[in-house]
Amino acid sequence: MRRSGCQTYAQIIVDILNEQVDKVFTYAVPEGMELTSGMRVLVPFGPRRVVGMVIGLTEETDVPRERLRSVLSALDDMPVVLPELMQLAAYLRTACHSTMAAALRCILPYQVRSGRVRPLSRLAVRLTQEAETALGRCARSKKQQELIERIAPWPEGVRIGHIEMEGALQAARALEKKGLAEVFPMEVRRTPYANLEGELDAYALTDAQQAAVARIRDSLDGEMQSFLLHGVTGSGKTEVYLHAVRECLLRGKGAILLVPEISLTPQMVGWFRARFGDHAAVLHSGLSQGEKYDEWRRVREGEARVVIGARSAVFAPVESLGLIILDEEHEQTYQSETHPCYDAREVARERCRLQRATLVLGSATPSIDTYARTLRGHNVLLEMRQRVAGRPLPEVEIVDMRQEIILGNRSMFSRALHAAIEETLLAGQQVVLFHNRRGHSSFVKCRACGYTVHCPHCDVTMTYHAVDDTLKCHYCGAEMALPRACPQCASPYIRKFGVGTQQVEEKLKQEFPAVTVVRMDIDTTKGKDEMVKLLTSFRKGEAQVLIGTQMIAKGHDFPNVTLVGVIAADMTLNLPDYRSEERTFQLLTQVEGRAGRGVHPGRVIVQTYEPEHYAIAMAATQDYRAFYEQEIMRRRRRLYPPYTIMMRILFSGKEASDVRAAAELMEMEINDWFTRDKRRRDQVIQVHAMEAPLGRIRDEYRYQVFIKMYAKGSEEALDYIEGAAEGAQAKAVRIEAEINPASFM
Ligand code: ADP
Ligand code: ZN
Ligand code: ZN
At 532 the pLDDT is 76
The CA distance from 364 to 628, in Å, is 12
At 191 the pLDDT is 42
Per DSSP (E only), the strands in 529-668 are 545-548, 561-566, 603-608, 644-653
Task: Report, as an integer, the average pLDDT of 202-208.
Answer: 86
At 599 the pLDDT is 74
Question: Ligand 1: which atom is nearest the Cα of residue 232?
Answer: 3
Ligand nearest to the CA of 457: 3
Going by C-alpha positions, the residue among 332, 391, 394, 324 that lies closest to residue 359 is 324
Q: Whose CA is nearest to atom 9 of ligand 1?
A: 236
Who wins on pLDDT, 139 or 670? 670
Q: Whose CA is nearest to atom 23 of ligand 1?
A: 205
Residue 343, classed as helix, strand or coil, is strand
Who wins on pLDDT, 444 or 529? 444
Ligand nearest to the CA of 474: 3
The contacts found for 31-37 with CB under 8 angstroms, 24 or more apart, are 33/71, 33/73, 33/74, 34/74, 35/8, 35/10, 35/71, 35/74, 36/78, 36/79, 37/79, 37/83, 37/86
At 462 the pLDDT is 86
Tens digit of each residue's pLDDT (9 = 90 or more) over 66-109: 889 999 999 888 888 998 999 999 999 988 888 899 999 989 88
Ligand nearest to the CA of 232: 1
Tens digit of each residue's pLDDT (9 = 90 or more) over 421-446: 999 999 999 999 999 888 888 788 88
Task: Report, as an integer, the average pLDDT of 539-560.
Answer: 85
Question: Ligand 1: which atom is nearest the Cα of residue 204?
Answer: 23
Q: Check residue 191 and report its DSSP letter.
A: P
Residue 640, classed as helix, strand or coil, is coil
Measured in angstroms, how far is the CA atom of residue 654 from the centroid of ligand 3? 15
> Using CA atoms in the order 76, 80, 86, 90, what is the torsion angle rounded to 10 degrees?
-80
At 151 the pLDDT is 86
Tens digit of each residue's pLDDT (9 = 90 or more) over 152-166: 888 888 888 788 888
Mean residue pLDDT of the chain comes to: 87
Going by C-alpha positions, the residue among 497, 501, 496, 512 that lies closest to residue 567 is 501
Ligand nearest to the CA of 389: 1
Could you give the percent of the chain with pLDDT greater than 70?
94
Could you give the percent of the chain with pLDDT greater than 90?
45
Who surrounds ion ligand 2 at CB < 5 A?
A: 446, 448-449, 451, 486, 488-489, 491
Tens digit of each residue's pLDDT (9 = 90 or more) over 56-71: 999 888 888 888 999 9
Question: Ligand 1: which atom is nearest the Cα of residue 235?
Answer: 3
The CA distance from 306 to 322, in Å, is 10
Q: How confident is the model at residue 198 (pLDDT cuts 50, 70, 90)?
A: very low
**pLDDT above 80 (res 714):** yes
Which of 203, 205, 239 is the pocket-test mutation for ligand 1 (most atoms within 8 Å of CB)? 239
Who wins on pLDDT, 324 or 262? 324
Task: Report, as an integer, the average pLDDT of 101-129.
Answer: 79
Which of 235, 327, 557 is the pocket-test mutation for ligand 1 (most atoms within 8 Å of CB)? 557
| Most confident listed range (377-381, 607-611, 695-699) | 377-381
Measured in angstroms, how far is the CA atom of residue 205 from the centroid of ligand 1? 9
DSSP 390-433: GPPPPEEEEEEHHHHHHTT--SSS-HHHHHHHHHHHHTT-EEEE
Measured in angstroms, how far is the CA atom of residue 231 from the centroid of ligand 1? 11
Measured in angstroms, how far is the CA atom of residue 516 from the centroid of ligand 1? 28
Question: Ligand 1: which atom is nearest the Cα of residue 237?
Answer: 3
**pLDDT above 80 (res 168):** yes
Measured in angstroms, how far is the CA atom of residue 194 from the centroid of ligand 1? 25
The CA distance from 593 to 606, in Å, is 13
Tens digit of each residue's pLDDT (9 = 90 or more) over 463-516: 888 878 889 888 778 899 988 899 889 998 888 888 889 999 999 999 999 999
The CA distance from 622 to 585, in Å, is 9
What are the pocket residues of ligand 1 if the criterion is a CB atom closer than 6 Å to any ligand atom? Answer: 203, 205-206, 209, 231, 233-239, 388-389, 557, 597
Which of 388, 558, 561 is the pocket-test mutation for ligand 1 (most atoms within 8 Å of CB)? 388
At 266 the pLDDT is 64
> Using CA atoms in the order 164, 167, 171, 172, what is the torsion angle rounded to 10 degrees?
60
Measured in angstroms, how far is the CA atom of residue 537 from the centroid of ligand 1? 22
Q: Sheet containing 479-481: which strands, arranged edge to edge?
A: 479-481, 470-472, 463-465, 441-446, 494-499
Task: Report, as an integer, the average pLDDT of 13-34.
Answer: 90
Who wins on pLDDT, 723 or 654? 654
CA angle 305, 308, 309 (to 5 degrees): 130
Measured in angstroms, how far is the CA atom of residue 546 from the centroid of ligand 3? 29
Measured in angstroms, how far is the CA atom of residue 459 from the centroid of ligand 3? 7
Ligand nearest to the CA of 235: 1
At 95 the pLDDT is 85
Q: How confident is the model at residue 192 (pLDDT cuts 50, 70, 90)?
A: very low
* End-to-end C-alpha distance for the chain, whole angstroms: 56
Contact, 220 vs 253, CB < 8 A?
Answer: yes
**pLDDT above 50 (res 695):** yes
Cα-atom radius of gyration of the chain, to the nearest Å? Answer: 30
User: 373: exposed, middle or buried (C-beta count within 10 Å: 0-12, 13-18, 19+)?
Assistant: middle
User: String of b and e for 333-347 (b: at least 16 CB within 10 Å)?
Assistant: bbbbeeebbbbbbbb
Going by C-alpha positions, the residue among 317, 194, 300, 319 that lies closest to residue 246 is 194
- Using CA atoms, how far residue 558 sits from 320, 594, 598, in Å, is 37, 7, 7
At 493 the pLDDT is 86
Tens digit of each residue's pLDDT (9 = 90 or more) over 605-656: 999 988 999 999 999 998 999 999 999 999 999 888 999 998 999 999 999 9
